[in-house]
Amino acid sequence: MIEWVVALLVLVGTGITLISSLGVIRLPDVYTRAHATTKSATLGILFILLGAFVYFVYVHHIVSVRLLLGIVFVFLTAPVAGHLIIRSAHRSGVPLADISVRDDLKAYLESVREQAAPQAAGSGAGDVTGAAAGAGDALSGKSGPDVGKG
Amino acid sequence: MFQTVLLICLFSLTVSFVVALVRIFMRTSTVSDRVLLIDSIGFIIIGMVAILSILLDTTAFLESILLIGILAFLSTIALCRFIERGVVIERKRGD
Protein backbone atom coordinates (compact mmCIF):
# COMPACT_ATOMS: atom_id res chain seq x y z
CA MET A 1 0.00 0.00 0.00
CA ILE A 2 2.67 2.47 1.01
CA GLU A 3 4.58 1.56 -2.12
CA TRP A 4 1.90 3.21 -4.22
CA VAL A 5 2.19 6.43 -2.23
CA VAL A 6 5.94 6.33 -2.90
CA ALA A 7 5.35 5.60 -6.59
CA LEU A 8 2.88 8.50 -6.81
CA LEU A 9 5.32 10.92 -5.17
CA VAL A 10 8.16 9.84 -7.44
CA LEU A 11 5.93 10.03 -10.52
CA VAL A 12 4.76 13.55 -9.66
CA GLY A 13 8.35 14.65 -9.11
CA THR A 14 9.48 13.16 -12.39
CA GLY A 15 6.59 14.79 -14.24
CA ILE A 16 7.49 18.20 -12.84
CA THR A 17 11.14 17.70 -13.84
CA LEU A 18 10.07 16.75 -17.37
CA ILE A 19 7.88 19.86 -17.61
CA SER A 20 10.84 21.97 -16.56
CA SER A 21 13.00 20.44 -19.28
CA LEU A 22 10.20 21.27 -21.74
CA GLY A 23 10.52 24.86 -20.53
CA VAL A 24 14.27 24.72 -21.17
CA ILE A 25 13.55 23.82 -24.80
CA ARG A 26 10.73 26.25 -25.44
CA LEU A 27 11.42 29.48 -23.56
CA PRO A 28 13.24 32.31 -25.35
CA ASP A 29 15.99 33.71 -23.09
CA VAL A 30 18.07 32.88 -20.04
CA TYR A 31 15.80 34.69 -17.56
CA THR A 32 12.67 32.77 -18.49
CA ARG A 33 14.65 29.54 -18.69
CA ALA A 34 15.85 30.16 -15.16
CA HIS A 35 12.20 30.43 -14.15
CA ALA A 36 11.64 26.99 -15.65
CA THR A 37 14.67 25.21 -14.23
CA THR A 38 14.97 26.62 -10.71
CA LYS A 39 11.35 26.58 -9.61
CA SER A 40 10.04 23.39 -11.12
CA ALA A 41 13.21 21.32 -10.91
CA THR A 42 13.46 22.16 -7.23
CA LEU A 43 9.87 21.11 -6.60
CA GLY A 44 10.31 17.91 -8.62
CA ILE A 45 13.47 16.86 -6.81
CA LEU A 46 11.79 17.64 -3.47
CA PHE A 47 8.93 15.30 -4.38
CA ILE A 48 11.35 12.53 -5.36
CA LEU A 49 13.39 12.89 -2.18
CA LEU A 50 10.20 12.94 -0.12
CA GLY A 51 9.17 9.69 -1.80
CA ALA A 52 12.50 8.10 -0.90
CA PHE A 53 12.12 9.34 2.69
CA VAL A 54 8.61 7.88 3.01
CA TYR A 55 9.82 4.60 1.52
CA PHE A 56 12.65 4.20 4.01
CA VAL A 57 10.44 5.20 6.95
CA TYR A 58 7.61 2.76 6.21
CA VAL A 59 9.48 -0.18 4.68
CA HIS A 60 12.73 -0.27 6.63
CA HIS A 61 11.62 1.80 9.67
CA ILE A 62 14.64 4.03 9.22
CA VAL A 63 14.33 7.78 9.71
CA SER A 64 17.21 8.80 7.50
CA VAL A 65 18.65 12.03 8.84
CA ARG A 66 20.95 12.31 5.82
CA LEU A 67 17.97 12.33 3.49
CA LEU A 68 16.20 14.95 5.62
CA LEU A 69 19.36 17.07 5.53
CA GLY A 70 19.48 16.64 1.77
CA ILE A 71 15.86 17.80 1.42
CA VAL A 72 16.49 20.87 3.58
CA PHE A 73 19.71 21.66 1.74
CA VAL A 74 18.15 21.42 -1.72
CA PHE A 75 15.20 23.50 -0.58
CA LEU A 76 17.49 26.20 0.83
CA THR A 77 20.17 26.42 -1.84
CA ALA A 78 18.31 26.03 -5.13
CA PRO A 79 16.58 29.47 -5.04
CA VAL A 80 19.81 31.14 -3.91
CA ALA A 81 21.75 29.57 -6.78
CA GLY A 82 19.09 30.60 -9.29
CA HIS A 83 19.12 34.17 -8.02
CA LEU A 84 22.92 34.33 -8.25
CA ILE A 85 22.97 32.98 -11.80
CA ILE A 86 20.40 35.49 -12.98
CA ARG A 87 22.08 38.41 -11.22
CA SER A 88 25.41 37.57 -12.83
CA ALA A 89 23.71 37.14 -16.20
CA HIS A 90 22.06 40.56 -16.01
CA ARG A 91 25.20 42.30 -14.80
CA SER A 92 27.37 40.73 -17.48
CA GLY A 93 24.91 41.96 -20.08
CA VAL A 94 23.10 38.92 -21.42
CA PRO A 95 20.37 40.40 -23.66
CA LEU A 96 16.67 39.93 -22.97
CA ALA A 97 14.40 38.23 -25.50
CA ASP A 98 12.97 40.33 -28.31
CA ILE A 99 9.42 40.05 -26.99
CA SER A 100 10.20 41.38 -23.51
CA VAL A 101 8.71 44.81 -22.86
CA ARG A 102 10.65 46.41 -20.00
CA ASP A 103 13.86 46.09 -18.01
CA ASP A 104 13.63 47.93 -14.70
CA LEU A 105 17.30 47.51 -13.85
CA LYS A 106 18.68 48.91 -17.11
CA ALA A 107 19.15 52.48 -15.83
CA TYR A 108 20.82 51.23 -12.66
CA LEU A 109 23.13 48.98 -14.64
CA GLU A 110 24.18 51.81 -16.93
CA SER A 111 24.89 54.13 -13.98
CA VAL A 112 27.05 51.43 -12.39
CA ARG A 113 28.96 51.00 -15.63
CA GLU A 114 29.58 54.74 -15.92
CA GLN A 115 30.91 54.81 -12.38
CA ALA A 116 33.12 51.80 -13.03
CA ALA A 117 34.56 53.18 -16.27
CA PRO A 118 36.97 55.76 -14.73
CA GLN A 119 38.13 53.22 -12.16
CA ALA A 120 38.96 50.71 -14.85
CA ALA A 121 41.84 52.87 -16.06
CA GLY A 122 43.40 52.84 -12.61
CA SER A 123 42.75 49.47 -11.06
CA GLY A 124 41.85 47.08 -13.82
CA ALA A 125 39.06 45.36 -11.88
CA GLY A 126 36.32 46.79 -14.11
CA ASP A 127 38.45 45.82 -17.05
CA VAL A 128 38.11 42.16 -16.20
CA THR A 129 34.34 42.51 -15.78
CA GLY A 130 34.14 44.07 -19.22
CA ALA A 131 36.11 41.20 -20.65
CA ALA A 132 33.77 38.66 -19.07
CA ALA A 133 30.77 40.57 -20.42
CA GLY A 134 32.38 40.62 -23.83
CA ALA A 135 32.88 36.87 -23.70
CA GLY A 136 29.22 36.37 -22.83
CA ASP A 137 28.18 38.54 -25.76
CA ALA A 138 30.45 36.77 -28.18
CA LEU A 139 28.97 33.43 -27.16
CA SER A 140 25.41 34.70 -27.44
CA GLY A 141 26.14 35.96 -30.94
CA LYS A 142 25.35 39.63 -30.25
CA SER A 143 27.60 42.62 -30.70
CA GLY A 144 29.03 44.45 -27.71
CA PRO A 145 27.57 48.00 -27.62
CA ASP A 146 23.85 47.16 -27.57
CA VAL A 147 24.16 45.14 -24.39
CA GLY A 148 21.12 45.41 -22.13
CA LYS A 149 19.14 47.60 -24.47
CA GLY A 150 17.03 44.77 -25.85
CA MET B 1 4.90 -3.18 -10.98
CA PHE B 2 6.39 -0.82 -8.41
CA GLN B 3 9.81 -1.42 -9.94
CA THR B 4 8.42 -0.73 -13.41
CA VAL B 5 7.12 2.65 -12.28
CA LEU B 6 10.49 3.49 -10.78
CA LEU B 7 12.27 2.43 -13.97
CA ILE B 8 9.96 4.65 -16.03
CA CYS B 9 10.77 7.55 -13.69
CA LEU B 10 14.49 6.87 -14.07
CA PHE B 11 14.11 6.89 -17.84
CA SER B 12 12.21 10.19 -17.78
CA LEU B 13 14.90 11.77 -15.62
CA THR B 14 17.45 10.56 -18.18
CA VAL B 15 15.42 12.27 -20.91
CA SER B 16 15.54 15.59 -19.08
CA PHE B 17 19.28 15.06 -18.45
CA VAL B 18 19.84 14.61 -22.19
CA VAL B 19 17.72 17.68 -22.96
CA ALA B 20 19.85 19.77 -20.62
CA LEU B 21 23.05 18.40 -22.18
CA VAL B 22 21.84 19.22 -25.70
CA ARG B 23 20.96 22.72 -24.58
CA ILE B 24 24.43 23.16 -23.05
CA PHE B 25 26.17 22.23 -26.30
CA MET B 26 23.89 24.29 -28.52
CA ARG B 27 25.67 27.19 -30.16
CA THR B 28 23.02 29.79 -29.34
CA SER B 29 23.12 29.38 -25.56
CA THR B 30 25.04 31.88 -23.45
CA VAL B 31 27.47 31.22 -20.61
CA SER B 32 24.76 31.90 -18.01
CA ASP B 33 22.54 29.35 -19.75
CA ARG B 34 25.24 26.77 -19.39
CA VAL B 35 25.77 27.49 -15.70
CA LEU B 36 22.02 27.28 -15.13
CA LEU B 37 21.79 23.94 -16.90
CA ILE B 38 24.78 22.50 -15.07
CA ASP B 39 23.01 23.43 -11.84
CA SER B 40 19.82 21.69 -12.97
CA ILE B 41 21.83 18.63 -14.06
CA GLY B 42 23.10 18.41 -10.50
CA PHE B 43 19.53 18.33 -9.24
CA ILE B 44 18.57 15.68 -11.80
CA ILE B 45 21.48 13.51 -10.63
CA ILE B 46 20.25 13.90 -7.04
CA GLY B 47 16.82 12.63 -8.09
CA MET B 48 18.39 9.73 -9.97
CA VAL B 49 20.37 8.68 -6.90
CA ALA B 50 17.22 8.84 -4.76
CA ILE B 51 15.25 6.64 -7.19
CA LEU B 52 18.21 4.26 -7.49
CA SER B 53 18.45 3.84 -3.75
CA ILE B 54 14.73 2.95 -3.64
CA LEU B 55 15.23 0.46 -6.49
CA LEU B 56 18.27 -1.20 -4.97
CA ASP B 57 16.71 -1.05 -1.49
CA THR B 58 19.76 0.35 0.24
CA THR B 59 20.59 3.43 2.27
CA ALA B 60 24.24 3.46 1.22
CA PHE B 61 23.83 6.13 -1.44
CA LEU B 62 22.14 8.74 0.70
CA GLU B 63 25.36 10.51 1.62
CA SER B 64 26.08 11.09 -2.02
CA ILE B 65 22.81 13.07 -2.31
CA LEU B 66 24.09 15.52 0.26
CA LEU B 67 27.56 15.62 -1.30
CA ILE B 68 26.32 16.21 -4.84
CA GLY B 69 23.99 18.95 -3.57
CA ILE B 70 26.80 20.78 -1.78
CA LEU B 71 29.19 20.42 -4.72
CA ALA B 72 26.61 21.66 -7.23
CA PHE B 73 25.78 24.69 -5.08
CA LEU B 74 29.42 25.65 -4.50
CA SER B 75 30.39 25.25 -8.15
CA THR B 76 27.40 27.35 -9.20
CA ILE B 77 28.44 30.12 -6.83
CA ALA B 78 32.04 30.02 -8.07
CA LEU B 79 31.00 30.14 -11.74
CA CYS B 80 28.59 33.03 -11.07
CA ARG B 81 31.26 35.08 -9.35
CA PHE B 82 33.59 34.39 -12.24
CA ILE B 83 31.03 35.53 -14.80
CA GLU B 84 30.13 38.63 -12.84
CA ARG B 85 33.53 39.89 -11.68
CA GLY B 86 36.19 37.90 -13.50
CA VAL B 87 37.63 36.45 -10.28
CA VAL B 88 36.39 33.73 -7.94
CA ILE B 89 38.06 34.79 -4.68
CA GLU B 90 38.36 38.52 -4.22
CA ARG B 91 41.24 39.97 -2.28
CA LYS B 92 41.27 43.36 -0.62
CA ARG B 93 43.37 45.81 -2.49
CA GLY B 94 46.09 47.04 -0.18
CA ASP B 95 46.17 50.80 0.02
Q: What ipTM was estimated for this complex?
A: 0.87
**Tens of pLDDT, residues B4-60:** 999 999 999 999 999 999 989 988 888 888 999 999 999 999 999 999 999 998 888
| Residue numbers in B near A50 (CB within 8 A) | none
Per-residue pLDDT, A149: 42
Q: Which residues of A touch B55 (CB under 8 A)?
A: none
Of how many residues is chain A composed? 150
Q: What is the spatial distance between Cα B30 and Cα B58, in angstroms, rounded to a whole number?
A: 40
Answer yes or no: is B18 within a domain: yes
B90 within domain boundaries:
no
Residue B25 within a domain: yes
Residue A77 touches partner B, C-beta closer than 8 Å? yes
Residue A62 pLDDT > 60 = yes
List of chain B residues whose C-beta atoms are within 8 Å of the C-beta of residue A82 = 36, 39
* Among the partner residues B19, B32, B65, nearest to A67 by beta-carbon distance: B65
Determine the structural domain holding residue B7 and report its residue range.
2-83
Q: pTM for the whole thing?
A: 0.79
B47 with A14: Cβ contact below 8 A: yes
